[in-house]
Amino acid sequence: MSLSPKTTAKAPFDNVKADVILCTSDDVQFYVWAIILAEASHVFRDMFSLPQPTTSSGTPIIVLSEDSETLDVLLRLCYPVRDPSLTDLTMLGKVWEAARKYELDEGAEIIANAVRSFLSTRPLHVFAIACGLGVEEESRLAAEAWKASETFKSISSLEDPDTFERTIAGASYIPEMANLPSGAFYRLLSFLRSSPDSDISLCGTPTQHYPSPDDIKTPLVFDVPCPADVDVVIRASDGMDFPVHSLILRSASAEGLLDYSKTRTKVRAGSLPIVQVQAPSDILVELLRLCYPMNSPTIDDCSKIRQMLRFASLHKMTKVTEVLKKRVADILQVYPVRHFFIAIEQGWKDVAQDAARNAAKHPIDDVYTLEMEDIPAAVYYSLLQYHRFYTTTVADVSSRHINQPWRWEVTTRMSKLGLARLIAISKSLTPIPSIVVVDALQKAFTADEETSASKAPINLSRLITAGEEIITEIERETSRVVGTWLD
């Protein structure tokens, strides 16, 4: 195979007599000797043993995903030449990744030592690199170095930071962490808040459990209408069959399930053709139910909803996806953080914003969900930032109405009738934490030292007025960023 000439790398990788050409992602050709790289890496050795395209002169040419700057440093670690300069931490991260990919053990150790030299000056950047590569030892060393730094100590000692950037979460994030999993950033924050002997695994990634038929406690029931008219069987990945009507599936935009070229098999169940799909029966049955117009979603299991959405997206089941979106929007107040990440994964900005508002009404520092392993840390950082902004706004606004915000105290002067109404009203004023409402009630009741049970309705009226004022001001303040914080 003949390829057009490319830019040639600088010496010593410009010797056209070499027996292999490595072409980088930015179209630079490195002329290398296979015997040298084969001795350094069995991955290269195996690569050279496979048939490869050739140049017009017959030299094998192998296209690599690395850029020329990264490959130059990597190859110099293999060649009998002077070691390259290892002072750029970002470049070290790229070379370290390549060295691990090609299993250049000695080269990887040289790079790891160079990365460790930055622990005292750039611990968070080292963490981003090491955690991104799944290297637990260097990730922990970096987290410990940041935790021991004077900067972190000064931030962690603040009782009430004046900005998000001066909180532990705000100060412990850098742009280089953006593409780490949110779960990795969550574990870093957990480690920083934990005791010195914490055994938190910073690179550990929990796995999602998908139920097998033996895990399903309740037998699956799929009551298809007009069973005599079914014309196709959808078979789940665990072997369970579901007879359905192909016309109904097509009307529900689920024709992707019937794609002959991708899923159709030659097996038949009696007189019906079978379509094999890669979804477990407990997920498939829920999706099929939604294809029939008489069924409405009742599922509230976040893991199942997420699996259903992934499968629906794969098979372009747009109507089912819209139904599930509405379901998530209806129940997001139950598990707002989980539904926030589900909405982000689906690209539902409006649902994500509503979920974030609901999440802001509760502490979320200790909230972990499996969805965080698939969402970039930059998104989790934004959620924490918005949470801080929302709660700070609530505190600031309420403090202008209440002398002592965030205090739950009901004095003995309150009658049983007043306390009962307190509970009812605090539950109804959902846009702000109910504890603020209690403080507003406390303000209303204590305004007059002679308050009695007979005057409770008047004070409750004043409570409602104060609550409405707080809500209006909070909505006005938070509306400034709610439309832009996820951009």
| Contact between 421 and 401 (Cβ < 8 Å) | no
**Mean pLDDT lowest for which of 75-84, 279-288, 395-404?**
395-404
Angstrom distance (rounded) from CA 117 to CA 119: 6
444 versus 110: the higher-pLDDT residue is 110
The residue behind tokens 């609901």 is 358
* Percentage with pLDDT > 70 across the chain: 77
Per-residue confidence (pLDDT) for residue 437, from 0 to 100: 47
Per-residue confidence (pLDDT) for residue 459, from 0 to 100: 53
Per-residue confidence (pLDDT) for residue 4, from 0 to 100: 53
The stretch 107-127 carries a mean pLDDT of 97
Per-residue confidence (pLDDT) for residue 473, from 0 to 100: 76
Decide which of 3.10.620.30, 3.40.47.10, 3.40.50.300, 3.30.710.10 is the CATH code for 218-331.
Answer: 3.30.710.10
Residue 398 reports pLDDT greater than 80: no
Pairing, β 20-23 against β 28-32: antiparallel
pLDDT bin (cut points 50, 70, 90) of residue 109 is: very high
Per-residue confidence (pLDDT) for residue 450, from 0 to 100: 46
Per-residue confidence (pLDDT) for residue 472, from 0 to 100: 77
Read off the pLDDT of residues 35-71 as tens digits, 9 standing for 90 and up: 999 999 999 999 999 999 888 888 999 999 999 999 9
Residue 427 reports pLDDT greater than 50: no
| Contact between 396 and 220 (Cβ < 8 Å) | no
CA distances from 401 to 394, 411, 426, 466, 467 (A): 11, 19, 16, 8, 9
pLDDT bin (cut points 50, 70, 90) of residue 452 is: very low
323 versus 474: the higher-pLDDT residue is 323
Per-residue confidence (pLDDT) for residue 5, from 0 to 100: 59
| Contact between 243 and 227 (Cβ < 8 Å) | yes
Per-residue confidence (pLDDT) for residue 418, from 0 to 100: 42
The stretch 430-435 carries a mean pLDDT of 46
Rounded to the nearest integer, the mean pLDDT of the chain is 82
Residue 379 reports pLDDT greater than 90: yes
The type of residue at 35 is: I
